[in-house]
Amino acid sequence: MLSFQSSKNVLSLTEDLLVRIYELLAAESDRKSFRLVCREFRRIDTLTRRHLRVIRIEFLPILLRKYPRLQSLDLSACPHIDDGVVSLLLTRVGPGSNSPILGHWAWGLKSLVLSRATGLRFSGLEMLARACPCLESVDVSYCCGFGDREAAALSSAVGLRELNMDKCLQLTDVGLAKIAVGCSKLEKLSLKWCMEMTDLGIDLLCKKCVDLKYLDVSYLKVTNESLHSIASLLKLEVLGLMACPLIDDVGLQFIERGCPSLKVIDVSRCEGVSSSGLIFVVRGHRNLLELNAGYCLSQELSTALLHQMKNLNHLEVIRIDGARISETSFQVISANCKSLVEIGLSKCLGVTNMGIMRLVSACINLRVLNLTCCHSITDAAISAIAYSCRSLVCLKVESCNMITEKGLCQLGSFCLLLEEIDLTDCCGVNDKGLEYLSRCSELSCLKLGLCTNISNKGLSYIGFNCLKIHELDLYRCTGIGDDGLEALSNGCKKLRKLNLSYCNEVSDRGLGYIGRLEELSDLEMRALHKITGVGLEAVAVGCKRLADLDMKHCEKVGDSGFWALAYYSKNLRQINLSYCGISDMALCMVMGNLSRLQEAKLVHLSNCTVEGVELALRACCVRIKKVKLFAPLRFMLSSEILEILHARGCIIRWD
């Protein structure tokens, strides 16, 4: 709070002090307020700003000019980034420009996020990679069309240290070889879902990039051969092998002898891995910090494995989802792994109150506990957890039906640091329970889906006390109505994500309260039969940041609402309009006017004609990345529009 007199003092602060203050502002909204104070503050902002996440491409040239010290540029939220745009940016705003201010924006750039930039191709990527000599980190994840040429383009960034290529579906060994040879300083590489990859590529990578610290080959069809190669990486700390179907215990034997720096390993969902494979890993790496072995221990934890786990004194995270576990195992774990911070026991068989009590008795540092689908635990276990683990931050007890307000009372009394709790499908939760829970004032994520016993009253406790909540899931909480939303909108101003699907009582008045949540970016409100265009308009007008809207089956919403949406929700990125009564005209307006829209689900639009859909697609074809359409339209839409969409890298799902 600055009074008029003290503002003079603030302005008299020297530049470097202002910079320090600025750097202490973590939240983006705070920084925004800061730079809106005055010109001087704005100048500080432009001088110090390192990171830029661009949402609308039209401002990109201006922004790049404005922030000369940019080190990190995130274009993932920016639609229609393509080769032409990149070329333009580099020639108009790049080193070729006459103005000294315009130049050099790419020169200092160290990090580039191009995730989901499906419009980009190798030529643009190559230009970028060459224009940014200091580039150290690139994220091209989920660019499904990326392949070897794009990899080759990236390989010209010789200083690259971090590279994320998740789901670059066309990438093969050849592309990886390009990167391995070109970017030999690589430290972090993620290759999830690069399905074409084989052992040859991984082998070459391990020979060329010996500095690798982080390697994720999850979901690849690589075999033990790859593990043999990976074992030679002396600096490797994190290894992701999730759901590699061809890896088995023999391969993990190589890991036992290699990778001396290994800290984190994930072998979850590897069909071939069993207890004996984990024994190899554990035996070879006493300093392991994190062990992810979910869904690969179908049998009970073997005593041999438990015996080996005794030595993991530094273990902080263990996830053994889906395993069969006995009470004695809990005792062994808790007695030896005293530094455990996170335990994942999701869908484990044999988790009992007694087991949990034994587990938590020694693990006092526990911060994250996942007990999803451990049906037999009751309030006794929750009480024990609350009593022992005072620093608990995250608790997931989805489908634990026996939890009642008593357990929540204990949590509200002792776990005051609790930030996230998942109570989905816990029928025992009622208004009283929420009242106890609301004492956890740090709560930021609350999931109450399918808790049919809560009402507006319970929600109002949350609204009054949990002011930091940014995610709330009220899926099928049929007891919730407009009054609850009123209380919520009064208190939880930071709410970013809200799920109101199937809360049948919610009407236009409730949506009016929702419209007060300025931070809201993600709203799911399927099948709200009472709402009309008025409610949607209120949301569109109020929630300026709305990026993701799912209003499937909101059949009563009329065109006025969609017109408002098209007019106000400029930041909308994803929309689901399936089963809505939207007309051709409104659809064209929505699809054409929302310049950030990237993904749309347009199934069963009863008031729309084929021509209307075609027109709407034409209106958005330059930026849309994913669209779901009614299957018969496949043969009704003109082949031209389908070709255009395909050429732009848009994925069409026919339903």
Partner 1 sequence: MDLKERVCDELQKEVPKGASSTNFNTQHQQKWEDPSSTLDYSTRIEPPFQAFNQTCQTQSLLLCNNQIKVPMQDGSINDLLQQASKIQDWDPSAMLNNLSFLEQKIHQLQDLVYLIIAQKGQVLGRPDELLVQQQQLVTADLTSIIIQLISTAGSLLSSVKQTLSAATTSLGQCGEFGGVVFPSSAQRLNDGVQPQNAGGSKVSEPPNSIDITSNNGNEQNNHIVEEHELKDEEDAEEGENLLPGTYEILQLEKEEILAPHTHFCTICGKGFKRDANLRMHMRGHGDEYKTPGALAKPTKESSSEPTIIKRYSCPYAGCKRNKDHKKFQPLKTILCVKNHYKRTHCDKSYICSRCNTKKFSVIADLKTHEKHCGKDKWLCSCGTTFSRKDKLFGHITLFQGHTPAIPSDEIKVAPAGTSDGATNKVGSVNFNLSSYVSSESEVQSSSMDIKGGIDDAVGYFSPLSFDTCNFGGFHEFPRPPFDDSESSFAFLLSRSCNYSQKSGE
- Binder to partner 1 among 36, 181, 234, 647 (CB under 8 A)? 181
d(CA 577, CA 602): 5
In angstroms, what is the minimal distance from the CB of 184 to partner 1? 10
- Binder to partner 1 among 123, 326, 336, 441 (CB under 8 A)? 123
Asked if 85 touches partner 1 (CB under 8 A), the answer is no
Asked if 232 touches partner 1 (CB under 8 A), the answer is no
Q: Enumerate residues 552-581 that contact partner 1 by CB under 8 A.
A: none
In angstroms, what is the minimal distance from the CB of 526 to partner 1? 44
Asked if 368 touches partner 1 (CB under 8 A), the answer is no
Contact 419, 392 (CB under 8 A): no
Asked if 340 touches partner 1 (CB under 8 A), the answer is no
* Cα–Cα distances in angstroms (integers) from residue 44 to residues 13, 195, 327, 469, 652, in the given order: 12, 46, 59, 31, 45
d(CA 543, CA 519): 7
Q: Which region among 118-126, 263-271, 413-421, 435-443 touches partner 1 (by CB under 8 A)?
A: 118-126
Question: Is the CB of 177 or the CB of 265 nearer to partner 1?
Answer: 177
Q: Where are the alpha helices (DSSP H) in 492-609?
A: 508-514, 533-542, 559-568, 584-593
DSSP track, 241-258: -TT-TT-BHHHHHHHHHS
Contact 296, 320 (CB under 8 A): no
Question: Is the CB of 158 or the CB of 234 nearer to partner 1?
Answer: 158
d(CA 186, CA 470): 36
DSSP track, 561-593: HHHHHHHH-TT--EEE-TT----HHHHHHHHHH
In angstroms, what is the minimal distance from the CB of 258 to partner 1? 18
Asked if 83 touches partner 1 (CB under 8 A), the answer is yes
Give the residue carrying structure tokens 């939207």.
582
Asked if 146 touches partner 1 (CB under 8 A), the answer is no
Binding mask 149-178 for partner 1 (x = CB under 8 A): x--xx-xx----------------xxx-xx
Question: Is the CB of 217 or the CB of 454 nearer to partner 1?
Answer: 217
Asked if 459 touches partner 1 (CB under 8 A), the answer is no
- Binder to partner 1 among 200, 210, 380, 652 (CB under 8 A)? 200
627's CB contacts (< 8 A; 6+ apart) are 599, 600, 601, 602, 617, 645, 650, 651, 652, 653
In angstroms, what is the minimal distance from the CB of 177 to partner 1? 5
Asked if 231 touches partner 1 (CB under 8 A), the answer is no
Q: Which region among 93-101, 148-156, 238-246, 643-651 touches partner 1 (by CB under 8 A)?
A: 148-156
Give the residue carrying structure tokens 């007199």.
5
Question: Is the CB of 207 or the CB of 310 nearer to partner 1?
Answer: 207
What is the number of residues in the chain?
655
d(CA 348, CA 336): 20
In angstroms, what is the minimal distance from the CB of 126 to partner 1? 7
Give the residue carrying structure tokens 């809990």.
330
* Cα–Cα distances in angstroms (integers) from residue 22 to residues 43, 54, 274, in the given order: 11, 20, 51
**Binding-site size, partner 1 (CB under 8 A):** 27
Question: Is the CB of 151 or the CB of 572 nearer to partner 1?
Answer: 151
* Cα–Cα distances in angstroms (integers) from residue 117 to residues 17, 85, 161, 259, in the given order: 38, 12, 20, 34
- Binder to partner 1 among 90, 127, 255, 278 (CB under 8 A)? 127
Residue ranges with strand state E in 70-116: 72-74, 111-113
Neighbours of 379 (CB within 10 A): 20
In angstroms, what is the minimal distance from the CB of 270 to partner 1? 25
In angstroms, what is the minimal distance from the CB of 260 to partner 1? 22
Question: Is the CB of 48 or the CB of 156 nearer to partner 1?
Answer: 156
Question: Is the CB of 173 or the CB of 420 nearer to partner 1?
Answer: 173
Asked if 94 touches partner 1 (CB under 8 A), the answer is no
Contact 410, 384 (CB under 8 A): no
d(CA 274, CA 233): 24
Question: Is the CB of 196 or the CB of 435 nearer to partner 1?
Answer: 196
In angstroms, what is the minimal distance from the CB of 75 to partner 1? 19
Asked if 126 touches partner 1 (CB under 8 A), the answer is yes
d(CA 145, CA 121): 8
- Binder to partner 1 among 94, 119, 124, 612 (CB under 8 A)? 124
Question: Is the CB of 17 or the CB of 158 nearer to partner 1?
Answer: 158
Q: Which region among 3-11, 197-205, 278-286, 523-531 touches partner 1 (by CB under 8 A)?
A: 197-205
Question: Is the CB of 83 or the CB of 519 nearer to partner 1?
Answer: 83
Question: Is the CB of 87 or the CB of 311 nearer to partner 1?
Answer: 87
* Cα–Cα distances in angstroms (integers) from residue 504 to residues 248, 474, 529, 539, in the given order: 49, 11, 7, 17
Asked if 207 touches partner 1 (CB under 8 A), the answer is yes
In angstroms, what is the minimal distance from the CB of 452 to partner 1? 57
Asked if 411 touches partner 1 (CB under 8 A), the answer is no
Q: Which region among 47-55, 124-132, 329-337, 379-387 touches partner 1 (by CB under 8 A)?
A: 124-132
Closest CA to 188 of 150, 152, 216: 216
- Binder to partner 1 among 42, 50, 66, 130 (CB under 8 A)? 130
Asked if 69 touches partner 1 (CB under 8 A), the answer is no
In angstroms, what is the minimal distance from the CB of 123 to partner 1? 3
SS3 511: helix
- Binder to partner 1 among 182, 272, 294, 449 (CB under 8 A)? 182
Question: Is the CB of 182 or the CB of 458 nearer to partner 1?
Answer: 182
130: left (phi over 0), alpha (psi -120 to 50) or beta: alpha
Q: Can you read off the two tokens belonging to residue 138?
A: 């690139």
553's CB contacts (< 8 A; 6+ apart) are 526, 527, 529, 578, 579, 580
Interacting residues toward partner 1 by CB under 8 A = 83, 121-124, 126-127, 130, 148-149, 152-153, 155-156, 173-175, 177-178, 181-182, 200-201, 203-204, 207-208
